């Protein structure tokens, strides 16, 4: 259950150009665009969301959904996009007669990520989106045409990302009307068929099955992969391995209901304790769950994380889970990992100035604490994980002497 420190080193994944393969079982999808960490940690501006190319520098992330389109039919009949601190309709210019932000400064960043083999779909919706098709299927088809022309392989004078061409769409529908999304996807697929590259349709349902907003489209349209949000609900990751963790329902859907018999199902997880209201599990627990599904389920496609800013602030949570998936003998680019050599036991440490570990506290990566006469250092952000338990803490050795001092600036 332990991830050695060598597994989460940046050197573990060499930068290479590998084309995205949706059929693999070791892909990692990480949402970008909402600065989730910044929203939860307003004072910690150095760790706020960076421009998207920042997250494309190694092979840890395969898919970066660009989130979100928050309004489908806005001023001038065009959608709105909000990328938090990077680009939005308030802080950036908008196209005349619309509230659609001009984010064309991101064009080169997007193309840089794609040149590294990343897939960047446009994510529609989110938890607060003013979305849906309240009239009929024709409106959904017209919206598909708009998305194709503004963001994908079509043409328009109004292209928020300039000459960059995104790689499809992601449906993160958590509000509005659930009707007519099948018509939307089917119309997009017509455009995809005439495109000169691969385009995808992903979806991010919440874990309660069937999903209230996307059950109809999931059952009737060709979806390439679903990023099931196993958090903020009773069926989330903390319920594993009990039946309440309802992977079985989603697996059955993929095998017996989905029109796409090659659809992949991802385990969706918060990348940090502050990334969701509930449902966060430490990396060792997520690794355990993901590897069990990777080994036992033919529909498993990988892990989805919310979001990039949280993952990077939490000691590269994305890289840790990618290394776990590719180091398990899976269909991964790195193959099985080589066991780390045995290392001698750490020498006794002087622990004066380090306070005792407290169960109710949260700790940042690099925090140190005493427990049972030993000195420990957090490998990544952690809460409620006892030093010496699941491998979250690195054992720095026996304490020569004890002492206590407050060090709360290191804590979450």
DSSP 224: S
Please tell me whether residues 294 and 386 are part of one structural domain.
Answer: no
Q: 140: how many CB neighbours lie within 10 A of its CB?
A: 23
> Which residues, in sequence order, are CB contacts of 279 under 8 Å at separation 6+?
230, 231, 232, 233, 236, 237, 238, 269, 270
Please tell me whether residues 289 and 358 are part of one structural domain.
Answer: no
Domains: count for the chain: 2
Confidence at residue 379, expressed as pLDDT on a 0 to 100 scale: 59
Please tell me whether residues 365 and 319 are part of one structural domain.
Answer: no
- Residue 145 pLDDT class (50, 70, 90 cuts): very high
List the domain range (segments joined by +) for residue 406.
Answer: 349-410
- Between CA 50 and CA 311 the distance in angstroms is 12
Residue at 341 is within a domain: no
Please tell me whether residues 178 and 304 are part of one structural domain.
Answer: yes
User: What pLDDT, in 10s, does the model give residues 258-295?
Assistant: 999 999 999 999 999 999 999 999 999 999 999 999 99
User: What pLDDT, in 10s, does the model give residues 161-206?
Assistant: 999 999 999 999 999 999 999 999 999 999 999 999 999 999 999 9
DSSP code per residue over 233-266: STTSGGGTTSTTS-HHHHHHHHHHT-S-TT-EEE
- Residue 125 pLDDT class (50, 70, 90 cuts): very high
- Residue 392 pLDDT class (50, 70, 90 cuts): low
Average confidence (pLDDT) over 139-161:
98
Residue at 338 is within a domain: no
Please tell me whether residues 298 and 368 are part of one structural domain.
Answer: no
Average confidence (pLDDT) over 84-95:
98
DSSP 283: H
Q: Is the pLDDT of residue 314 over 70?
A: yes
> Which residues, in sequence order, are CB contacts of 184 under 8 Å at separation 6+?
133, 140, 141, 143, 144, 217
Please tell me whether residues 182 and 58 are part of one structural domain.
Answer: yes
Q: Is the pLDDT of residue 403 over 60?
A: no
Please tell me whether residues 207 and 356 are part of one structural domain.
Answer: no
The CATH number of the domain holding residue 392 is 2.10.10.20
Average confidence (pLDDT) over 18-23:
93
Confidence (pTM)? 0.78
The CATH number of the domain holding residue 274 is 3.20.20.80
Judged by average pLDDT, the poorest of 37-46, 59-68, 91-100, 367-376 is 367-376
Choose from 51-60, 324-333, 360-369 the range with maximum mean pLDDT: 51-60
Among the options 89, 141, 174, 385, which is catalytic?
174
Catalytic annotation on 359? no
């Amino acid at each position: 259950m332990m991830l050695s420190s060598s597994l989460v080193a940046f050197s573990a994944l060499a930068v290479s150009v590998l084309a995205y393969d949706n059929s693999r079982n070791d892909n990692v999808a990480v949402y970008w665009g909402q600065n989730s960490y910044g929203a939860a940690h307003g004072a910690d501006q150095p760790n706020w969301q960076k421009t998207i190319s920042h997250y494309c520098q190694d092979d840890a992330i395969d898919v970066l959904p660009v989130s979100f389109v928050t309004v489908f039919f806005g001023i001038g009949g065009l959608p709105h996009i909000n990328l938090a601190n990077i680009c939005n309709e308030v802080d950036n210019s908008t196209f005349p007669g619309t509230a659609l932000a001009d984010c064309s400064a991101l064009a080169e960043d997007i193309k840089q990520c794609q040149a590294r083999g990343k897939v960047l779909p446009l994510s529609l919706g989110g938890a607060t989106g003013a979305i849906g098709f309240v009239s009929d299927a024709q409106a959904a088809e017209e919206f598909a045409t708009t998305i194709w022309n503004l963001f994908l392989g079509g043409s328009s004078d109004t292209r928020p990302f300039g000459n960059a061409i995104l790689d499809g769409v992601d449906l993160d529908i958590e509000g509005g009307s659930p009707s007519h999304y099948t018509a939307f996807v089917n119309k997009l697929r017509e455009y995809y068929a005439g495109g000169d590259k691969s385009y995808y349709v992903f979806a991010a349902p919440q874990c309660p099955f069937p999903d209230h907003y996307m059950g109809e489209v999931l059952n009737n349209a060709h979806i390439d992969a679903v990023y099931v949000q196993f958090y903020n609900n009773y069926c989330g990751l903390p319920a594993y391995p009990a039946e309440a963790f309802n992977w079985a329902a989603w697996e059955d859907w993929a095998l017996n209901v989905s029109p796409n018999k090659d659809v992949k199902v991802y385990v969706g997880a918060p990348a940090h304790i502050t990334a969701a209201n509930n449902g966060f599990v430490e990396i060792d627990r997520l690794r355990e769950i993901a590897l069990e599904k990777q080994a036992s389920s033919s529909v498993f496609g990988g892990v989805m994380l919310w979001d990039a800013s949280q993952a990077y602030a939490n000691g590269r949570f994305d890289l840790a889970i990618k290394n776990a998936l590719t180091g398990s003998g899976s269909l991964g680019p790195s193959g099985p990992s080589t066991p780390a050599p045995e290392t001698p036991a750490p020498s006794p440490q002087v622990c004066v100035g380090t306070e005792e570990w407290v169960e109710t506290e949260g700790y940042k990566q690099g925090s140190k604490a005493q427990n049972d006469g030993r000195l420990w250092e957090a490998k990544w952000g952690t809460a409620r994980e006892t030093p010496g338990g699941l491998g979250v803490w690195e054992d720095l050795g026996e304490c020569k002497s004890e002492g206590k001092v407050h060090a709360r600036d290191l804590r979450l």
